[in-house]
Amino acid sequence: MAMAITLCETRINRQGMELAQHGTGLFPIACYHEDLSQEPVPWHWHYELEIGVILRGRAVVCAGTERFTLGPGEGFFINSEVLHALRSQDASPCLLRSAVFHPRLIGGSVDSVFWQNYVQPLITDEARQGLRFDGAAPWHGQAVEAIAAAWRSCEEERPGHDLQVREALSQLAFLLSRNRSARAEAPPEKVLRNEARVKQMLRFIEENYDSQLTIADIADSATISESECLRCFRGTIGVAPIQYLKQFRIQKAAELLLSSGESVGEVGARCGFPDASYFTKTFRELKGCTPSEYRKKGPEHAPLTAACVR
């Protein structure tokens, strides 16, 4: 039941949903150590819950309609099936320890008292898309410590670490349950509808990123107008659809550069860049180096374990 601490890239499926299995069926949690200034976590979603603590630098956390910046010693929670992304506030190193875990790790079966009293109310609460633990409330320090304790237990893998992880995450679930704000309101129906549209458009982009796509193509995939497509993307994830498409293509290209023996030109063509010079220019803009330089730096960017696709 070994639990590797990993640094990995995110891969999504046709709905924009992350493909990674976090942990194992028996122990469904995976822990990650990342530098967001080197590899930001792109927009995606998954059924699992996500938590993290910033070690160094300042991180921008986007979760549904929530946007907040966190510094060292501060943490976050991202609810199930919420579109989210993480990045460094600037070019400085931004070190993050995070964990992604299935709700059943703390809730057990859906007919258990733990699921009914703590998990189900949490994962169905549309008003709690993402939370910051920045010290603004007295219990935030306890929440950060619970996250850190779960992460340490995964890292050390001492006898009984699985029980210790579950205990720490259960403590976090209790804190979230006990400190639910009665004033919190779910996002408006329009916002939820736009998020659903964006998920559909992310699916289309993932299926067709190697083709020459236009805004009209992306809008048609969700049966909306081009102007509505632009509003959905900007209002939900903060970038235009073509900019997201470009970022997605470069991320796919980065993965191929490290995992295949294809030439730079072949990788670019497979990722929607038939013009090799434009591919190199765009890659440098987003990654800070050329595709060839990125490939040479492989050990710095490659996953630390082959089994993980964060």
**Closest among 33, 35, 51, 148 to 94, alpha carbons compared:** 35
Pair (154, 207) in one structural domain:
no
Q: Cβ neighbours of residue 135 under 8 Å, at least 6 residues apart?
A: 74, 141
Pair (161, 228) in one structural domain:
no
Q: With respect to residue 62, please indicate whether it lies within any of the assigned structural domains.
A: yes
Return the amino acid letter for 200: Q
Phi/psi at 98 (nearest 5 deg)? -135, 165
Residues 233 and 205 sit within 8 Å (Cβ to Cβ) = no
**How many residues are given for the chain?**
310
Cα Rg of the chain (Å, integer):
20
Pair (159, 199) in one structural domain:
no
CA distance linking residue 248 with residue 202, whole number of Å: 10
Residues 82 and 130 sit within 8 Å (Cβ to Cβ) = yes
Segment 187-223, tens digit of pLDDT: 788 888 998 899 899 889 989 999 999 999 999 999 9
**Closest among 104, 109, 53, 93 to 77, alpha carbons compared:** 53
Pair (289, 154) in one structural domain:
no
Where does residue 222 rank: exposed (0-12), middle (13-18), buried (19+ CB within 10 A)? buried
CA distance linking residue 157 with residue 64, whole number of Å: 33
Residue ending a domain, among 146, 178, 210, is 178
Pair (16, 152) in one structural domain:
yes
pLDDT (tens place) for every residue of the chain, 310 residues total: 334 444 444 444 444 444 454 557 889 999 999 999 988 888 988 999 999 999 999 999 999 888 999 999 999 999 999 999 999 999 899 999 999 999 999 999 999 999 999 999 999 998 899 999 999 999 999 999 999 999 999 999 999 999 999 999 999 999 999 998 756 677 788 888 998 899 899 889 989 999 999 999 999 999 999 999 999 999 888 889 999 999 999 989 998 999 989 999 999 999 999 999 999 999 999 988 999 999 988 745 443 332 233 3
Give 70's strand partners: 59
Pair (174, 193) in one structural domain:
no
Pair of tokens at residue 307: 């089994």
pLDDT of residue 184: 63
| Domain CATH for 85 | 2.60.120.280
**Closest among 113, 117, 41 to 78, alpha carbons compared:** 41
Q: With respect to residue 113, please indicate whether it lies within any of the assigned structural domains.
A: yes
| Domain CATH for 263 | 1.10.10.60
Q: With respect to residue 1, please indicate whether it lies within any of the assigned structural domains.
A: no
Residue ending a domain, among 122, 151, 178, is 178
Residues 180 and 122 sit within 8 Å (Cβ to Cβ) = no
Domain that holds residue 258: 189-301
Phi/psi at 294 (nearest 5 deg)? -60, -45
The number of distinct structural domains making up the chain is 2
pLDDT of residue 308: 33
| Cα-based angle 237, 242, 243 (whole degrees, multiple of 5) | 60
pLDDT of residue 187: 75
226-236 vs 241-259: helix crossing angle, rounded to 10: 70
63: helix, coil or strand?
strand
Torsion sign, CA atoms 268, 270, 272, 274? positive
Q: With respect to residue 170, please indicate whether it lies within any of the assigned structural domains.
A: yes
Residue 310's CB is within 10 A of a number of other CB atoms, namely 21
Pair (261, 142) in one structural domain:
no
Residue ending a domain, among 178, 208, 240, is 178
Segment 73-93, tens digit of pLDDT: 999 999 999 999 999 999 899
| Cα-based angle 260, 87, 285 (whole degrees, multiple of 5) | 55
